[in-house]
Amino acid sequence: MQRNKAISNTATLTTCALLTALSVILARFLAITPSESARISFETVPIFLAGMLFGPVAGALVGFTSDFIGSLLMFGFNPMFCIPPILYGLCGGLFRPMLRKTELWRIAVAYLPPIILGSWLWQSLALSLFYGGEAKAAKLAFFYTKLAERGIQFALVFVVDVLVVYFLCKAGVFRRFRS
């Protein structure tokens, strides 16, 4: 019995490491950058899947680790920007009981909190604090501009991410990991 548990933990750790690497590649090397301030990537799918498959702690750790490694590769780590990836993994795990039935609306409901609270609101706020200028009025204007711009961006990303997770689950790719 102990041997099976060790194999399971090793398999979980290995799978989480692969999902982390996939997230880093999707975020840093396969992202689409339509403008200077917008970036479309599908880095959240592996993070969400880690939470969905292995629980909220594993998902949150995959989210943090992928953001940490990706940030160090590109520009440097800022803890304010690691909140959204952690939320994706956390929500994938917290909504795990609801996601046992693979239905499109269930995946969409599980994806809404991290995309709205994390990627849209929190990151827009963090961007305005760092790049919005010195004056409060400038920061506020920058924040509203980011909200409008990123709202459209994340509406599109939301639809694609939910569909990717749905079709992967429907195809039975993760049956082995379901408990």
pLDDT tens digits along 63-80: 999 999 988 887 778 888
Q: How many domains does the chain have?
A: 1
Q: Distance between CA 58 and CA 99 in Å, rounded?
A: 16
Both tokens of 6, joined, read 């060790």
Under the banding of pLDDT at 50, 70 and 90, the label for residue 101 is: confident
Q: What is the pLDDT of the chain when averaged over all its residues?
A: 86
Over 90: is that where the pLDDT of 133 sits?
no
Residues of the domain holding 126: 2-177
Confidence at residue 115, expressed as pLDDT on a 0 to 100 scale: 93
**Residue at 177: amino acid letter:** F
Q: Distance between CA 14 and CA 12 in Å, rounded?
A: 5
Under the banding of pLDDT at 50, 70 and 90, the label for residue 143 is: confident
Both tokens of 37, joined, read 């301030």
Over 60: is that where the pLDDT of 128 sits?
yes
Q: Distance between CA 161 and CA 175 in Å, rounded?
A: 19
Q: Distance between CA 77 and CA 53 in Å, rounded?
A: 27
Q: Distance between CA 157 and CA 77 in Å, rounded?
A: 24
pTM over 0.75: yes
Q: Which residue has the tokens 């269930």?
A: 106
- Write out the H or E segment, with its range, that includes residue 39: strand 38-40
CATH of the domain at 122: 1.10.1760.20
CA 68, distance to chain mean position in Å, is 13
pLDDT, tens only, 19-51:
999 999 998 888 887 766 667 888 999 999 999
From the list 54, 63, 57, 49, the residue with the least C-alpha distance to 102 is 49
- The separation between the first and the last C-alpha atoms of the chain, rounded to the nearest angstrom, is 17
Both tokens of 75, joined, read 């520009």
90-102: b (≥16 Cβ within 10 Å) or e: bbbbbbbeebeeb
Under the banding of pLDDT at 50, 70 and 90, the label for residue 2 is: very low
CA 16, distance to chain mean position in Å, is 14
Asked if residue 43 lies in contact with residue 20, where contact means CB atoms within 8 angstroms, the answer is: no
